[in-house]
Structure 1
Amino acid sequence: MKKPHSLDYRALRPVLKAGTLAFKTTNDLKRLNHCIGQERALQALRFGLETKHQGYHLYAMGSSDLGKHELVREWVAAYAKQRPTPNDWCYIHNFDNPSKPTALALPPGMGHLLQQDMKTFVDEMSTSAQSIFESKQFRAEMKKIAHFSNKKFKLESNASSPSVKIKELSREKFLKEKRLRFKLIKAVISPPITVLKRKYKKYLPITKYLTATYKDILEHVDDLMHLDENTNALLFSPEQMTLAKYGVNLMVDNKDLKGAPVIFEPVPHYSNLICRIEYIQQQGNLVTHFTLIKPGALHLANGGYLIVDIRKLKKQPELWEIFKSTLYAQNIKIEPIERAVHTAKLISISPMPIPLQIKIILLGDRNTYYDLCQEDTDFTKLFKVIVDFDEDVDRNEKNIKLYAQLIGTLVKREKLLPFHADAVAAIIDFCSRLSEDIEKLSTHLRAIEDLIIESNYWAAMRHVKIVRASDVETAIHAKAYRTDRTRELYYEDIKRNFIIIHTRGESIGQVNCLSVRKVGYFSYGHPTRVTARIRKGKGRIIDIQREIKMAGPQHTKAGLIIANFLASRFSSDQLFSLSASLSFEQVYGYTDGDSASVGECCALLSAIANIPIRQSFAVTGSIDQYGEAQAVGGVNEKIEGFFDVCTMQGLTGHQGVLIPAVNRKNLMLKDSVVEAAKQKKFTIYLIDTIDDAMTLLTGLPVGKRQKNGEFTKDSLYYIIEKKLRGFAR
């Protein structure tokens, strides 16, 4: 059996040398005018935007800090500039059915023009009519009608049936006064209506509306007047609601828009996504009319593109259903709100639906997408295009140059100090650490931008003119310090022996396992003591975390794999007569994952053999049923966590961490670990199998099964198998 391999310190943190970059500072770099490594997403976005068929809306998925929101808006905005500008949309009064306002589509800019023209018309009508009704000529005509009627009243008062005649004369007087008012109002509104009809003669819906407005005003002249009780004078003073019906509610004004609209709705709810209808109180009732309809994001984005955060939309199930129905129907239907406010009666309207031509881009993560695919059949019919953002790109010469340009572009955009090449190299190394892969670079733009801004701050604090690699390192450490209070408290408990973690000596059935704890965006290594106890039994391994329901399905699966590995490795031809228990000591929260399964298995093997394990080592790794060590996540944080504890308790030169060999490519360890490894004070070992781990942890050869079916005599596995056969007798 080959000896487990220890890593040279140079393999623990591959470093990009500043000398390999062909510039001195970011001032020497050209701006980057495209994103890096998102060709798949860009192609999908282009396909979705150009496909006009029903159901080809888009779902952009990826981690929240990839910068996908900014990228999607930028890409869509660039595409939208090439598209035609959509129509304006107005609501106007429906003179045949006032409760169903009419939707009117007009060329861009004409909606605003019509709104201003109708406002001017109403204002001028009010002013002109009031002037006429206050004029001496109008009063003289009214006096003349009154004088003539009074003479007739006197003549008829002596007749045989005066009451009948007087009623007829009163009606005659009323009709003469009405005809006079009609004549004067007609004279006021006919010229401007004629002018407007001529102006909009090419737009039949507008000319029909103007004709209907003209007829309605003349039919309701009396509604526009009222008698002043003090002066007994007739005044042109209509109520606001009466005049409002001659106005135009401009829902969508595209007069200043070049291309198609791109709208992002950050906080979707019914009133700002679909629409809002406002109400006013009138004689104890809440009433509304078409001018109180307010547009939603769907109106504003009609003919263009709407970007919505699916997490916020999905939190409102009723709105989500309405939203999908709207996309299916391809029109925006404004439903009246049927709810009582206090004791007032609600009188609403049902506006004409507006046809909807729109492309929706939902922003969300992968889990939300998978959940929607499973739970919502409508979702897969409506959102057929996946825009999947890559989390990282290959770390090669081409992409390193592009990342340097990206950093330079961000520096210039934020108007920061220029970054030296060594600072750029440090940030690129940070990108590999983010991706947990020395062969990759993270595309998490938000984290990169944050590091750039914070590095600039620390350089400014030093009163220098160029940001150096030391400033980048300071920014990384400072950010960790701001968020690592939880880690410090945990390590302090270890130091004070409230939490027991041994980094020296030996113990039977006890292994230092490693996990990762996350607090916000900060992750840290969390050493945990795993213990095992064994006795003769019926082949059952009790996982205490699982028994008390504080373990997840992945942890449970790992426990079953360990049991099957032990039974097949040591008891394939006999009953597996072992009863054992496993415990994560001093862990009081929920546990999941399988990254401790190598350590758990080692603890069991140690307990069975009654052979101690070196506590100077910690272990991470997943195991399969054949005893192979499998890759795990968070390997850098895990190693650094145990290193910090060892440093706190004193480095001896014998301490280290065992990791699966396949995780070698994930190592981007902090400088203090690399330096300790260089000085032979701390070692990282690569293991391929559980056999490698047990050899390192016990110092004994595990043995090899001989032709006689038994393991090498006095080897570790020989002792274990002998013990289990004794249990089986």
Structure 2
Amino acid sequence: MRLEADALRWHCDPEALGFATTDELTDLDYALGQERAVEALTFGLGMGRDGYNIYALGASGVHKHELVQHHLEADAHNRELPSDFCYVNNFEEPHRPNILKLPAGRGADFKNDLDTFVDDLRDSLRAAFESDEYRTRRQMIEREFREEQEKAVNEIEREARENGITLQRTPAGFGFAPLTEDGEVMSPDSFHQLDADKQQEIQQEIERLQHRLQEALQQMPKWLKQTREKIRQLNADTASQAVGHLVEALKRRYDPLRAVQDHLDRIQADIVDNVDALLARGDQGEMQAAQGEQTEALLRRYRANLIVDNRGREAAPVVYEDEPSYDRLIGRIEHRAEMGALTTDFHLIREGALHRANGGYLVLDARKVLSKPLAWEALKRTLRAGEVRIESLYQALGLISTVSLEPEPVPLSLKVVLIGERLLYYLLSELDPEFNELFKVAADFEERTDRSDGTRDLYARAVATLARRNELAPFSAAGVARVLEHAARLAADQDKLSIEMETIADTLREADFHARRNGNNPVEAADVDAAIRARERRMGRVRERMHEEILRGTVLIDSDGTRGGQINALTVMSLGGVSFGRPTRVTARAGIGRGNVVDIEREVALGGPIHSKGVLILHGYLAARYARERPLSLSASLVFEQSYGGVEGDSASLAELLTLLSTIADVPLRQDLAVTGSVNQHGQVQPIGGVNEKIEGFFEVCKDRGLTGEQGVVIPDANRKHLTLRQEVVDAVRADSFAVHAVKTVDEAIELFTGMPAGTEDADGRFPADTFNGAVQASLDALAEKRRQFGLPSEARRNSTGEA
């Protein structure tokens, strides 16, 4: 059937839109044609059970990110504000910092309060330990020690004098010496002049006193320890009094928060235990600097590391992490260099996207997550556990065994939304058993919507909305009508409109550019056309080079006359997001054989499985239609001429069948027609993709060689609704310079290409001799007879042929 020009393209009447420019239209505040995806998002966000995270799947350009962001931000206002989280020192196990949960906005206050507390602590301790009261009490303790020491020594000294012996204090220690009757220290000579008994008596007494003195001196460490304990207790009492009022003030400020109050109690206890180190003073120079660093390190333990701060937030967080690496997802532990070594503490714990999104929503690009080492596994582990555990990538891989920080996990409650293409979703569903447990909700985005009066009006509002958001000039009704026609072209369907709004937005922006350059306001249909043509030209270098080689005769394509076993098939190529049609010559050769049809593309591994399937279907068609009573005694070959790349798809199977039948029947085919379509074993012509690009590819060849009025293309009748051809093709058809034919069966295509009646089989399965099918059947019968003859013994073969 030859199609009329009006059937080749949907035309949108600007008058039917009911407005002059888009300034008259209100914004469209929801996504056009995405009702299914919106329902899924609404369900997923409202479902509070574990595992109901969302995967938003669909083609790029349908504004998945924008629609997801819009719904998340709207839902975020219905949620409670999430808590703040701080890491603080664990005084019992410093390598395992504790996490403190505070109400939203209180985390920053707590951190600042602890910073102020540390600053006030210095002054308070200094004042307490430099006070007269402290000095007096310490001096009393020290004096008690000295008095106890003097009392013991004086007692021994008095006892020695009563026995004529004196206790001498020297730099080397204590010593005893006998006295004369005058009370003077006896010289060695005088001592030796005494009789032996007297000397022995004095010696024994000195030994006894020395033993007494030794017993007294042995009590000194005990007294010193008691003194130090008293001083330590004094320091503890003083420190407790000095910081007690500071801690109590903080505890009152955070009264309902039990965990915070417990931590403040631990801070106070640690200050009391380490007050000596906090008050230590070194000498001038390096020792003083080192002591200051040590004190500062002690004071850092009393501060807080705020990792989640929701101060000033009015709704739950909506976080999009553009670089979802392992560290940026779950956080990291940093290190600093000190004296040639790497050290760390809880202040160097850094939050990840999961921390920032806690209590709200985290949006991730699925492909990026899967491409980062261990990021996908870390995300799944975190969602299963319901907590964020920070560990380095090396620890996760088991590559290091040194002791590092092991921060307490942060409890997690959030919704994760993965955004990605459909293929990734299906692969994850099939290959990852945990995926369906964690992402139970699929929000499937459409690329097309039905064309109706209602959707047409909504689409116009969507154009108006995009124009205002992008600060473009308004579009006239004619301009919007041209955009709608372009949307039908992108959808490749007269009854559908593409809702890949990013592509439409690009068209609007580029049309606005041309309108401004031409001084147009509003943007007219001509500006939209200019934008479409300019984009096609920018991406058209490969198409133009291929077209040029056809016109120069490098690629052999005939567009007039007839040829046997040769036809122009229509193919489509896609490069860089742009598709274009290209005619390709298909040829066939046939002879006697065992019924095999050789697909040369398949034999040289250039044909894909779908293409090979199409060729095998041809074999079934031939055998069922023309060789029911005889064996199919055919050996044929099919090939795409001058094809040096892969061939895939079955859209050329109609062309291959016509070529094969032509060479069998020895009937030429028209070369001013090109054909596309798939066939089944019953001879029905099935629809194919890329029909518009295919038609336009052959049209350009015919146009540049000169339109004769006989040229045209043959397409499946089922593709009629997909026709959205360029206006110049429609105009050529209207002027009878070019034709588009739609066929439902192989026989209809045969009659177009040969000018012969196809022929209808009778009850015996035979076709009339003067028909094309009859010629095919007769030729196959002849081949079968020749094959039979070649199978006979030589004598019988001579007799059957009448040879002497």
Q: Is 2:449 the counterpart of 1:453?
A: no
120 and 305 in structure 1: CA distance in 2 versus 1, 3 angstrom threshold? same
Maintained 8 Å contact 1:515/1:596: yes
Q: Is 2:3 the counterpart of 1:7?
A: yes
Q: Is 2:258 the counterpart of 1:204?
A: yes
Note the C-alpha offset of 1:545. Answer: 1.3
1:536 and 1:241 mapped to 2: Cα distance?
95
Aligned to 2:209: none
* Correspondence list, 1:108-187, <5 A: 108-129=104-125, 158-159=173-174, 178=232, 182=236, 185-187=239-241
1:152 and 1:501 mapped to 2: Cα distance?
122
Maintained 8 Å contact 1:551/1:592: yes
Maintained 8 Å contact 1:536/1:727: yes
State the AA in 2 paired with 1:636: N
Q: Is 2:212 the counterpart of 1:216?
A: no
Aligned to 2:770: 714
What per-residue deviation string (whole Å, max 9, x for no partner) do you get for residues 567-587 of structure 1?
Answer: 111112221111111111122
Aligned to 1:519: 575
State the AA in 1 paired with 2:257: Y
State the AA in 2 paired with 1:191: H
Maintained 8 Å contact 1:285/1:345: no
* Correspondence list, 1:575-724, <5 A: 575-724=631-780
Q: Is 2:282 the counterpart of 1:228?
A: yes
Q: Is 2:84 the counterpart of 1:88?
A: yes
Range that drifts further, 592-601 or 143-152: 143-152
What per-residue deviation string (whole Å, max 9, x for no partner) do you get for residues 490-535 of structure 1?
Answer: 1122122221111122221111111211111211112211111111
2:706 and 2:148 mapped to 1: Cα distance?
123
139 and 579 in structure 1: CA distance in 2 versus 1, 3 angstrom threshold? farther
240 and 641 in structure 1: CA distance in 2 versus 1, 3 angstrom threshold? farther
Maintained 8 Å contact 2:327/2:392: no
Maintained 8 Å contact 2:54/2:439: yes
1:340 and 1:712 mapped to 2: Cα distance?
79
Q: Is 2:484 the counterpart of 1:428?
A: yes
Aligned to 1:412: 468
1:320 and 1:73 mapped to 2: Cα distance?
22
What per-residue deviation string (whole Å, max 9, x for no partner) do you get for residues 704-723 of structure 1?
Answer: 11244311222111111111
468 and 6 in structure 1: CA distance in 2 versus 1, 3 angstrom threshold? same
What per-residue deviation string (whole Å, max 9, x for no partner) do you get for residues 623-666 of structure 1?
Answer: 11111111111111111111112222222221111110111111
Indicate the structure (1 or 2) with the bigger Cα radius of gyration. 2
1:236 and 1:282 mapped to 2: Cα distance?
15
Note the C-alpha offset of 1:277. Answer: 1.3
1:717 and 1:336 mapped to 2: Cα distance?
75
What per-residue deviation string (whole Å, max 9, x for no partner) do you get for residues 73-105 of structure 1?
Answer: 111211121111122222222222222222222
Note the C-alpha offset of 1:323. Answer: 1.6
State the AA in 2 paired with 1:500: L
Structure 2 portions without partners, runs of 5+: 154-168, 175-212, 786-804
Note the C-alpha offset of 1:315. Answer: 2.3
State the AA in 1 paired with 2:620: N
Aligned to 2:794: none
Aligned to 2:70: 74
Range that drifts further, 278-287 or 391-400: 278-287
1:212 and 1:264 mapped to 2: Cα distance?
38
Aligned to 1:28: 24
Secondary structure of the residue that 2:530 maps to in structure 1? helix
Aligned to 2:159: none
Identity, in percent, stands at: 39
Q: Is 2:36 the counterpart of 1:40?
A: yes
23 and 340 in structure 1: CA distance in 2 versus 1, 3 angstrom threshold? closer
166 and 336 in structure 1: CA distance in 2 versus 1, 3 angstrom threshold? farther
120 and 691 in structure 1: CA distance in 2 versus 1, 3 angstrom threshold? same
Maintained 8 Å contact 2:96/2:407: yes
1:131 and 1:530 mapped to 2: Cα distance?
100
Aligned to 1:17: 13
Secondary structure of the residue that 2:434 maps to in structure 1? helix
Maintained 8 Å contact 2:325/2:373: no
1:344 and 1:394 mapped to 2: Cα distance?
58
Maintained 8 Å contact 1:336/1:348: no
Secondary structure of the residue that 2:374 maps to in structure 1? helix
2:458 and 2:636 mapped to 1: Cα distance?
55
Maintained 8 Å contact 1:287/1:348: no
Note the C-alpha offset of 1:230. Answer: 2.3
Note the C-alpha offset of 1:39. Answer: 1.2
* Correspondence list, 1:281-680, <5 A: 281-282=337-338, 284-316=340-372, 318-338=374-394, 346-680=402-736
Secondary structure of the residue that 1:66 maps to in structure 2? coil
Q: How many residues align?
A: 724
Note the C-alpha offset of 1:137. Answer: 9.5
Maintained 8 Å contact 2:327/2:393: no
222 and 608 in structure 1: CA distance in 2 versus 1, 3 angstrom threshold? farther
501 and 169 in structure 1: CA distance in 2 versus 1, 3 angstrom threshold? farther
Maintained 8 Å contact 1:339/1:346: no
Maintained 8 Å contact 2:664/2:776: yes
623 and 500 in structure 1: CA distance in 2 versus 1, 3 angstrom threshold? same
State the AA in 2 paired with 1:266: D
Aligned to 2:313: 257
1:584 and 1:233 mapped to 2: Cα distance?
88
Maintained 8 Å contact 2:326/2:372: no
491 and 166 in structure 1: CA distance in 2 versus 1, 3 angstrom threshold? farther
1:640 and 1:239 mapped to 2: Cα distance?
81
147 and 506 in structure 1: CA distance in 2 versus 1, 3 angstrom threshold? farther
Secondary structure of the residue that 1:526 maps to in structure 2? strand
542 and 164 in structure 1: CA distance in 2 versus 1, 3 angstrom threshold? farther
What per-residue deviation string (whole Å, max 9, x for no partner) do you get for residues 424-464 of structure 1?
Answer: 00001111111111111111010111111110000011122
Maintained 8 Å contact 1:224/1:236: no
Maintained 8 Å contact 2:395/2:401: no
Structure 1 portions without partners, runs of 5+: none
1:78 and 1:508 mapped to 2: Cα distance?
67
Maintained 8 Å contact 1:60/1:68: yes
Maintained 8 Å contact 2:332/2:391: no
514 and 188 in structure 1: CA distance in 2 versus 1, 3 angstrom threshold? farther
Note the C-alpha offset of 1:472. Answer: 0.1
2:424 and 2:504 mapped to 1: Cα distance?
25
Range that drifts further, 308-317 or 533-542: 308-317
Secondary structure of the residue that 1:347 maps to in structure 2? coil
Maintained 8 Å contact 1:337/1:348: no
Q: TM-score, normalised by structure 1?
A: 0.93
Note the C-alpha offset of 1:308. Answer: 1.3
Note the C-alpha offset of 1:180. Answer: 6.1
RMSD over equivalenced CA pairs, Å: 2.8
What per-residue deviation string (whole Å, max 9, x for no partner) do you get for residues 513-566 of structure 1?
Answer: 112111112111122111111111111111111112222221111111111111
